[in-house]
Amino acid sequence: MRDFSDIAALATERHGAEKIAIIQENAKPLSPTELAKIPDDRWLAQATRSIFQSGFNWKVVDSKWDGFETAFEGFDLGRWIFSNDDDLSTLVSDKRIIRNGMKIKTVPENARFFGELADEAGSVGKFIGEWPVTKQVELLDILHKRGSRLGAMTGQYFLRFMGKDCYILSRDVTAALIRAGVVDKYPSSKKLKAATQQAFNEWMEESGLGASAVSTTLAHSIDG
């Protein structure tokens, strides 16, 4: 496997040392304590935002987001844990939001999921914040299996946007992993996911950087 220093050198060659340093600094995540202070409703809001952005124009979602906040009543977990079919029927015809019934259904489903996490750890932020960055693959598996539409890239972007230290397996990051000899294709299997996690763990230890900064550096080491 390629050393991280070699990957960082490629990124620096392409973009310059100053830009890479800024990129790595901007990738600094929130601390577990900071994540634990984020209210549960904000986790549901960002999960919903990431779900609606998946496979859709992000700018359209962003432009309508105030409408989402109003229509979903601030994404209060208790409100949506106890929602009913009439609530969903009303939302499907609500012009303030993107009227995708399958994605709208994820709000009460993820409210229940996040409610479970809050019961287990005290809050959603505490559960996610205290999860070891060296075991991201297991956290993503929980999001995929217990959450609704929070698998794959959606779950990764959700964590990153909330400030959790994590890697994102974008096209460029995957290309860098292949070039480094970690995987031979996008890591969708259990074996390749484990290899990816191990590589990030070793690179984090080598560099002293977090997963977000390592991931961003990998992406900038690829031409494109």
Lookup: tokens for 45: 């809001």
* Residue 184 CB contacts under 8 Å (≥ 6 apart), including other chains: 178
Average pLDDT over residues 27-43: 98
* Predicted structure pTM score: 0.96
Question: For residue 201, which of 169, 172, 167 has the smallest C-alpha distance?
Answer: 167
The answer on pLDDT for 209 being more than 80 is yes
The answer on pLDDT for 157 being more than 70 is yes
The answer on pLDDT for 111 being more than 90 is yes
Percent of the chain with pLDDT over 70: 100
pLDDT attached to residue 220? 98
pLDDT attached to residue 63? 98
Average pLDDT over residues 178-193: 98
pLDDT attached to residue 154? 98
The answer on pLDDT for 135 being more than 70 is yes
Domains of the chain with CATH codes: 4-29+167-220 (no CATH), 39-133 (1.10.340.30)
Give pLDDT tens digits for 60-78: 999 999 999 999 999 999 9
Cα 185 to Cα 192: distance, rounded to the nearest angstrom? 8
pLDDT attached to residue 224? 64
At residue 98, what are phi and psi to the nearest 5 degrees? -85, 120
Percent of the chain with pLDDT over 90: 99
Torsion of CA 162, 53, 221, 186, to 10 degrees: 100
